[in-house]
Amino acid sequence: MSEIKENLLRVMERIEKAARKVGRDPNEIKLVAVSKTVEAARIKEAIGAGVSILGENYIQEAQKKIEEIGRLVSWHFIGHLQSNKVKYAIRLFDMIHSLDSIPLAEELNRRAEQANQAIKVMIEVNLSKEAAKFGADEERVLSLARRIQNLNHLFLEGLMTMPPYFDSPEMSRPYYIALRALKERMVKERIPMKDLSMGMSNDFEIAIEEGATYVRVGTAIFGPRK
Ligand SMILES: *Cc1c(COP(=O)(O)O)cnc(C)c1O
């Protein structure tokens, strides 16, 4: 068996075990295989082994790979999106995990409308102000979500966060609890959303215990990045 396939099976086992531990159905959790810096041949190997959602961080890098690999799999954008790249993002991706400002939302909507399509988005929340460069501050999430609700070409699916890096995965837990609480608050404010994109190679079990519906896993599938 190839190394990527072995890694993938191990990740899927870990997802299942974490879900069962807290009484969740493992099928509620979708795996985004994060393929930044990974070449197309190895991505194809992962697809052959069963990966169906790929996560990319950089538009130009993703564009080449998506042209080569195609759209039978779903491509999600998880990096920082610049407004001058929005028109490409609309064409390339089924979901943007990292929407973090009203101007960016408006630009996405404008370009989606021009392209006569709609795109799924999540709001990236910055829960660790000093450590994270990107993401909307918690206080601004509600107004951003309300704005997105009024943009006809965007579907607001949920919230995403990326805690600072800790050696101990347990240290991420407060961030994941906070993201889930914020989602519950949105739902009470009549902003329906279902997804929580949280958890990476080193801490996705904790994220699943706290309600993740998407985990974004790179290293544990593809090995260390160069
Ligand atoms: C790179 C990246 C990941 C995956 O990180 P790993 O530690 O390799 O699993 C997840 N989310 C985002 C936003 C990333 O940039």
Q: Are the beta carbons of 4 and 221 closer than 8 angstroms?
A: yes
pLDDT of residue 226: 81
216 Cβ below 6 A of ligand 1: yes
Which pLDDT score is estimated for 26? Answer: 98
In angstroms, what is the C-alpha Rg of the chain?
Answer: 17
pLDDT tens, residue by residue, 134-165: 999 999 999 999 999 999 999 999 999 999 99
Alpha-carbon torsion, ordered 26, 30, 34, 39, to 10 deg = 100
Q: Round to whole Å and give the CA distance between 153 and 103.
A: 15
Predicted local confidence at residue 176, as pLDDT: 98
Nearest atom, ligand 1, residue 32 CA: 10
- Ligand 1: atom nearest CA of 225 is 8
Q: What is the pLDDT of residue 73?
A: 98
125, 179 Cβ separation under 8 angstroms: yes
CA of 80 from ligand 1 middle (Å) equals 12
- For the entire predicted model, the pTM comes to 0.97
C-alpha 55 to ligand 1 mean position (Å): 9
- How many A from CA of 169 to the centre of ligand 1? 14
CATH of the domain at 43: 3.20.20.10
What local confidence, expressed as pLDDT, does residue 130 receive?
75
* Distance between start and end Cα atoms, the chain: 23
- Helix (DSSP H) and strand (DSSP E) numbers for the chain: 9, 9
Predicted confidence (pLDDT) per residue in 78-111, tens digit: 999 999 999 999 999 999 999 999 999 999 999 9
Any ligand 1 atom below 6 A from CB of 65: no
Q: Enter the tokens of residue 102.
A: 């009203």
Which pairing describes strands 136-137 and 154-161: parallel, antiparallel, or unpaired?
Answer: unpaired
Q: How many domains does the chain have?
A: 1
Predicted local confidence at residue 1, as pLDDT: 78
Ligand 1 site, residue 37, Cβ cutoff 6 A:
no
**Helices 3-21 and 40-48: crossing angle, nearest 10°?**
50
Token couple for 185: 């608050």
Question: Amino acid letter at 194?
Answer: K
Q: What single DSSP character describes residue 164?
A: P
Tell me the C-alpha distance between 59 and 93, whole Å.
10
Residue 32's domain comprises: 3-222
Ligand 1 pocket check for 219: Cβ under 6 Å = yes
pLDDT of residue 131: 73
Low-confidence stretches of the chain (pLDDT < 50) are: none
